[in-house]
Structures are given as C-alpha cells and as structure tokens.
Chain A
Amino acid sequence: MFTGLMANTWIAASVVAVIAGMTGYFAVLRGQTFAAHAIPNGAFAGAAGASLIGVNVIVGLAVVAVAGALGIGALGSKARHDVITALTLVLMLGLGAVFVSMSTQYAQETYSLLFGQVTGVSQGEVAPIAGLGLAAALAIGVAFRPLMLTSALPEVAEARGVSTRKVDLYFLLVMAVATSMTVPVVGALLMFSLMIGPAAAARSVTARPGVALALSVAIALAITWLSIALFYRTNWPLGFFVGTGGALFYLVGLGARRLAVPRSLTRS
C-alpha cells in the first residue's frame, strides 16, 4: 500500500494534513470556522466550472476560492460576518449546481471534488500540491504573531497599528490557497473536517499556543494516515474515517481535559 500511485497519495495527503492542521488552528482561534466551511465547499464550483470549459481544475478552484475569500473579507466588515459568509457560500454553490448540471458526464468527478480522490493523485500533481502547501505554511509563519494578536485581542491590535481587517483578509486568502491545493486530494467536505477536528481536539488538550498548533498538525496527520490505511483495507469511503476520526479525537481530548483539570481549579 506504499507503492506506485499510493506513494503519491501518501505524500499529497500528508501535505494536505499539515496545511489543514495549521490553517484550521487559526480558523478555530479566530472564530472563522464558518469561512473554513464556505471557502472549500464554494470553491468546488470553480473546479466544476474549470472542468466544464477545459481548464486545469486547480486553477478553477484557486480563482473561485480567492474570489470567495475577497468577498467575505471585503463585505464582512460592513455587515455581519456570518451572513456574508453564508451568502458567499450560497452564491458559489448555486454556480456549482449550474456547472455540474451542464456537464452530466462528470458526475464521478464532481463526487470526487466533494469527497476527494485520494487514491487518484498522479505524479504530476504532487509537485504543485507540495508547492502550494509550502506557500501556505510560509504565509502563516510570516504572520504568526499578528494572527495571534488579532485573534485574541482585536482592539489592542488596532491600537498598536495592526489592522484586524487586513489580517482577516490575509488569513482568508491563505485559506483560499490551502483550499485550492487540498480539495482535489481530500475533497471539499473532508478538507473542512480536517481543518476543524484536529484544531479543536488540540486546544482541548493543551493551553500552550505553540504546542496546540503542533498537536493540531500531528492529529491531522494521524487522522489522515489512519484513514488512508483503513480505506485501503476496507474500501469504505475515506470521508467516513476522516469525519469520525476528527470527532473522535475531539471527544478524547475533551475527556482528557475534564479528567486532568477539575473546573474548580481553573475558575476562581
């Protein structure tokens, strides 16, 4: 299960897991999990559109994901952020429905965009996935402190000359880049599970921000590797393992924290 096409699968999926763990950590911290849901799922319209007009699917994903991120970022400050996010998602899903209906012969491809095609990663796809992954990781590393400051203390950040709006937009764009790289591999729905589950589990275990980030990445990798192995053995849908894996890790983390720290000690 580690040879040929499967080797590509392991590499691509591992890159995806690292990026999902990192971006998910900040998505959860910033309360932008809804955007983390909307961008990958909406971006599937871009992929559907691209395959309709014969353009590279990653290009289509990137264009629509970035457009969605810009829309959420630009309008989100004027109206309620969640409403704008929802409307962006609805608009993109609508477009996706049209594109898919126009190209019924691509039903299989549409399915794989939503649920991933983890065993179908070709040699040529590994390099761009790794490149985009590196770009997303660097983008997060460069903005690590401002991301932390604006997440935790937005008003103080403003007073110190860090624009919360600009950092918001920056992070949405990073999510868009991460999305265009990950969706062809794990699919839009699984990308969302992989971003939220590990990050939520990690923060319930540790109070240290750096450790929580590392743990989030580690859990995302563990879930991904376990899911691929189980998928390979059972041929059950990959999404089942990724989705339940994320929830399971979160519950275990929550339980561990309840046992380790009685509430009476933390609140006084």
Chain B
Amino acid sequence: MTELLKLDGVGVRLGGRQILDDVRFEVRPGEFSGIIGPNGAGKTTLLRVILGLIPSAAGKITRPPTIGYVPQKLNIDPDVPLRARDVVSLGLDGHRIGFSFPSRKRRDLVEKALADVGAGDYASARVGELSGGQQQRVMVAHALISRPSLLLLDEPLANLDLAIEQEIVTVLAKLAREHEIAVMLSAHDMNPLINVMDRIIYVANGKVATGATDDVVTTEGLSELYGHHVDVLHVHGRVVVVAG
C-alpha cells in the first residue's frame, strides 16, 4: 500500500533554534499514529509543519490533498450564536467566499458527520456551552465533513477526565478502522492510546523515533533519543517513562 504522508529528513528551525531534526516516517491510510513526548519536545511543531503552517528548513514532506485538523482548544464564549451543527457546516465550505444556503443535502451531511462521532444529541446546542469532550467530538465532525484522508489532532485528550478520554480514543479508532482515515494525534501520555496505536511517533529532544510501540518505547531506545538515561517501566499494562 502506498503511503499517505511521508516525512523525509525534515528539520524545523524557529528563531534560530533547531526544534526538529531529521524527522522521517510514513503514514498509510487507516493507520492510527500517536505523536508522544514530553511538553516542549516539538509535538505541536511537528503537527504544524505537516499542516504546512510553518516551513521546514530541510527535508521533504509528501502530503495528502485534504488534511482535517482539530486544534487543542476551542476558544468560543458560551453566548456565541453558533450551534454544533453550524461549526460542522463550516467544515464543508467555510474557507470559500460568499455564504451558503441551507439545503437538505447539506443538512444530511452535517447530521451524518455528527452521528459518526456520537454528537447527534447536542447538534443544536451552542458550541460554547458544550463540555470539553463534547467540543472535541464536534471539532472531529467539523474536520471529517471535508472528507480528509488524514486527520490531525493536537492534544485532544488534554483536560479531559479518564472516561471521556477513553470515549474519544474509541471514536477516533473507529474512524480510522471503518472510514480508512489515517488518524494522527499528539499526547503527552501514551497509555490511553496503547491498545489502538498502529505506530508511535516518539518526540524528544527535537528528534523522533517511530515504529511499533513495543519496539520504540524501550529503555535503550528512549535513552538514546533523550540523550540521557531514562527508564521504561511496565506497571499493570501501563507504560511509564522515568528520567533516571
């Protein structure tokens, strides 16, 4: 199978600092990849360079034609007159000029996208009044409606409680499996993703190690990546990385 996204020796410099160096990996259709690493390691930079929002200083990126993007946090006041369905509708053609007229086809597409992520119940609620997990789902629906082959999510699990976290992961894994959408999300904790990840993209120290989780997350591998000794501990099926 041919790859959807390919980074070949990509480097990023921002403000004279090397943020990412020699990043190389590929993502195939329907794959679930987790971009894992400590805060400040360059996860968001990696997402932004894939989106084309910041230029790469070195290397080559091959991208699919449509990429869906879900930012880390919505910043919408509770009284903004925008319902969940309006946000999803904007995903269809919000970047074009003019305005769109309501139609049955548009409504059906919006309903379907909301149903696919299990957000049908609050389609008519103001998006600013929804909880963090509900907003995540609405944003995933917003990204899905443009039929992307690759879906990028920036820290979608941050600030969610454990049960909601698991729900979002289940929704995303289902999308990857059933719709053949490659899902890539960044997270500082790999544990909620261990059972669904096809590939881990571990970012530390501006460098990236990638592969199956068990091959990448080892004491030797991560120590080399971090540039100092770390221990990888397995506790009741959970993985903990500890600086040594």
Contact = CB atoms under 8 A, between A and B. Distances in A.
B142 interface: yes
A235 interface: no
A160 B94 contact: yes
Given A159-B67, A159-B69, A266-B126, A152 B82 contact: yes
B237 to A, nearest CB: 31
Contacts of A212: 81
- Size category of the binding interface on chain A: 20 to 34
Nearest to B146: A160
B98 A141 contact: yes
Interface in B184-243: none
Nearest to A206: B81
Interface in A53-109: none
A127 interface: no
B14 interface: no
Given A29-B81, A152-B82, A203-B80, 7 more contacts: A153-B90, A156-B142, A156-B143, A160-B95, A204-B79, A207-B124, A266-B126
Contacts of A160: 69, 94-95
A202 B51 CA distance: 36
Contacts of B122: 268
A160 B74 CA distance: 16
Contacts, number: 90
Interface residues of B, number: 35
Given A152-B76, A208-B81, A209-B82, A159 B51 contact: yes
19 contacts: A29-B80, A143-B97, A144-B98, A145-B95, A148-B94, A149-B94, A152-B80, A153-B71, A156-B139, A159-B53, A159-B67, A162-B94, A202-B81, A208-B83, A208-B86, A209-B82, A211-B81, A266-B129, A268-B131
B46 interface: no
Most A-side CB within 10 Å, residue of B53, B71, B82: B82
B87 interface: yes
Which residue among A145, A161, A209 has the maximum number of chain B CB atoms within 10 Å of its CB?
Answer: A145
A207 B126 contact: yes
A39 to B, nearest CB: 22
Contacts of B74: 153
B96 interface: yes
A56 B158 CA distance: 57
Given A149-B90, A159-B51, A266-B126, A142 B98 contact: yes
B39 to A, nearest CB: 19
Contacts of A208: 81, 83, 86
A153 B124 contact: no
A203 B95 contact: no
A52 interface: no
A142 B95 contact: no
A142 B96 CA distance: 9
Contacts of A209: 81-83, 86
